[in-house]
């Protein structure tokens, strides 16, 4: 495929630092996993920083092996001639701290004990993730970022970048984001947590990696997965179809939607660590752009760049109203802001499933970003 970035590899940068976290605790040394696509130009000003969601990773495009069944998670966006055109832009994606996908997280070794942190890992905020990412940006000698673009938790990171490093950010594109996590989203994460805590294999986070609380984690992910879909997408995908494998009157027979949740919950256990899932859920719950500011207005007034916002009509997790709340405040502050409500049936995950709906607007926006911050 000539619009693919092709074979790529994840790189790792080590930082001998102790990062002061929002909680006051220190974390370090740190490793940040990242991938890069395209070439950094001589002026080092063609950088697009792609920020990932809850269970994403640094592998945003291309494949690690010719035999890979699927490419990186935003492969439809990154590559020669695509919206993040790697003939033009240097696209960078790093894994957040707290994750289990190469950056320092609860599965990493705690230098104080020589054993994995597990629940000794400190609670994080999205702001801490961005502060750690900044170490990588500095390490690569980048002083100006053309745009930070991300969906869901990636949107939160984009906002944090613009507020805390306004001098180096030329634009942000928060997609399916929120300015503060709603009580309903926290409630769903609370159910996910209880599913894990009630699994006897959980052992207060001290499970052996080869024996994770698989039932609890699969159920927790299924709760999350429901919130990433929508009523409309479930009707489209499954309707009321009963699994062809089951008899309709078998007591344990399942609807197709149940099979789907079983499959995706079970799959998740093979690719994600339980403690990381919990730490990132906590960071999502704690998210409030106004944290440690006197008001939302004070926080957003620090934003010094154009911003482009997308929300999806069927997103009931981070609803369009939540994006609108931030956009309204930015408008009140006379900041350059552009907001588009995209018609999509695919719920919160529309940013992964139907990017073609917002790509043309994004493409025009990126071309018009001013050359200096
Ligand atoms: C955002 C980031 O930063 S990265 C994180 C993104 N990744 C995830 O969220 C991982 C979970 N994956 C997903 O939710 C989806 O695959 C998405 C959102 C990425 C893409 O959505 P879609 O293209 O609509 O995929 P869909 O939901 O139809 O299929 C997901 C899986 O369920 C399977 N599936 C579909 N229908 C059924 C069914 N009736 N019964 C059982 N399994 C089913 C699919 O075969 C697919 O399996 P695979 O992952 O092994 O290929
Ligand atoms: N489905 C995506 C988005 C969730 O916010 C993920 O799991 O990361």
- Separation of 180 CA from ligand 1 center, angstroms? 27
CA angle 240, 244, 245 (to 5 degrees): 130
108 annotated active-site: no
Residue range 26-45: mean pLDDT, rounded: 97
Task: List, for residues 258-303, the tens digit of each pLDDT value.
Answer: 999 999 999 999 999 999 999 999 999 999 999 999 999 999 999 9
Q: Give the residue among 10, 28, 13 at the shortest CA–CA distance from 136.
A: 13
Predicted pLDDT at 373: 62
pLDDT tens-digit map of 172-218? 999 999 999 999 999 999 999 999 999 999 999 999 999 999 999 99
Q: Let me know whether 228 and 254 are in one domain.
A: yes
Of residues 222, 185, 188, 186, the one with CA closest to residue 317:
185
Q: Is 371 helix (H, G, I), strand (E, B) or coil?
A: coil
Whether 308 and 262 share a structural domain: no
User: Which domain, by its residues, includes 251?
Assistant: 185-282
What SS3 class is residue 359? helix
More confident residue, 210 or 244: 210
Do 101 and 245 share a domain, yes or no? no
Q: What is the ipTM of this complex?
A: 0.96
Q: Are 155 and 175 in contact (CB under 8 A)?
A: yes
- Measured N-to-C along each axis, helices 256-271 and 214-228 cross at an angle, to the nearest 10 degrees, of 120
Residue nearest to atom 30 of ligand 1 (CA): 264
Tally of residues, the chain:
373
Query: Is residue 89 pLDDT above 80, yes or no?
Result: yes
The CATH code of the domain that includes 308 is 3.40.50.1820
Of 99, 108, 152, 276, catalytic? 152
Using a 10 angstrom Cβ sphere, with 0-12 exposed, 13-18 middle and 19 or more buried, the burial of residue 137 is buried
Confidence of residue 313 (pLDDT cuts 50, 70, 90): very high
Question: Three-class SS of residue 278?
Answer: helix
Among 231, 257, 282, the domain-final residue is 282
Q: Which pLDDT band holds residue 248 (cuts at 50, 70, 90)?
A: confident
Please indicate whether residue 99, judged by its CB atom, sits closer than 6 Å to ligand 2. Answer: no
**Are residues 111 and 47 both part of a single domain?**
yes
Given 52, 59, 146, 348, which residue is catalytic? 348
- Which residues does the annotation place in the binding site? 221, 349
For the chain, the distance separating the N- and C-terminal CA atoms, rounded to the nearest angstrom, is 35
Q: Please report, in range form, the residues annotated as the binding site for substrate.
A: 221, 349
DSSP, residue by residue, 8-31: ---EEEEE---EEPTTS-EE-SEE
DSSP structure class, residue 255: B
Average pLDDT of the chain to the nearest whole number: 97
Selection from 330, 12, 36, 336 nearest residue 171 by Cα: 336
């Amino acid at each position: 495929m000539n619009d693919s970035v092709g074979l790529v590899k994840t790189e790792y940068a080590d930082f001998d630092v102790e990062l002061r976290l929002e909680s006051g605790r220190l974390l370090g040394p740190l490793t940040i996993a990242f991938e890069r696509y395209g070439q950094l130009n001589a002026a080092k000003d063609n950088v697009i920083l792609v920020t990932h969601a809850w269970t994403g990773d640094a592998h945003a495009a291309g494949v690690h092996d010719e035999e890979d069944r699927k490419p990186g998670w935003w492969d439809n966006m990154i590559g020669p001639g695509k919206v993040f055109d790697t003939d033009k832009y240097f696209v960078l994606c790093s894994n957040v701290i707290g994750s289990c996908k190469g950056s320092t997280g609860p599965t990493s070794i705690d230098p104080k004990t020589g054993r994995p942190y597990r629940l000794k890992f400190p609670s994080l905020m999205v702001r801490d993730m961005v502060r750690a990412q900044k170490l990588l940006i500095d390490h690569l000698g980048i002083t100006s970022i053309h745009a930070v673009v991300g969906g869901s938790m990636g949107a939160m990171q984009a906002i944090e970048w613009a507020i805390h490093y306004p001098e180096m950010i030329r634009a942000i594109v928060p997609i399916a984001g929120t300015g503060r996590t709603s009580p309903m989203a926290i409630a769903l994460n609370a159910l996910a947590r209880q599913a894990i805590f009630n699994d006897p294999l959980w052992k207060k986070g001290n499970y052996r990696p080869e024996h994770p609380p698989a039932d609890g984690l699969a159920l927790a992910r299924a709760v999350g997965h429901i919130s990433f879909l929508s009523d409309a997408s479930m009707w489209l995908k499954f309707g009321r179809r009963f699994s062809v494998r089951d008899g309709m009157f078998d007591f344990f027979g399942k609807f197709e939607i149940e099979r789907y949740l079983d499959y995706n919950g079970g799959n998740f256990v093979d690719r994600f660590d339980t403690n990381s899932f919990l730490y990132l859920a906590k960071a999502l719950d704690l998210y409030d752009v106004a944290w440690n500011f006197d008001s939302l207005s004070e926080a957003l007034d620090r934003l010094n760049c154009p911003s482009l916002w997308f929300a999806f009509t069927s997103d009931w997790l981070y609803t369009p109203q939540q994006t609108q709340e931030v956009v309204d405040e930015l408008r009140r502050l006379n900041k350059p802001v552009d907001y588009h409500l995209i018609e999509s049936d695919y719920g919160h995950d529309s940013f992964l499933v139907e990017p073609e709906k917002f790509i043309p607007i994004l493409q025009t926006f990126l071309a018009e970003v001013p050359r200096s911050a």
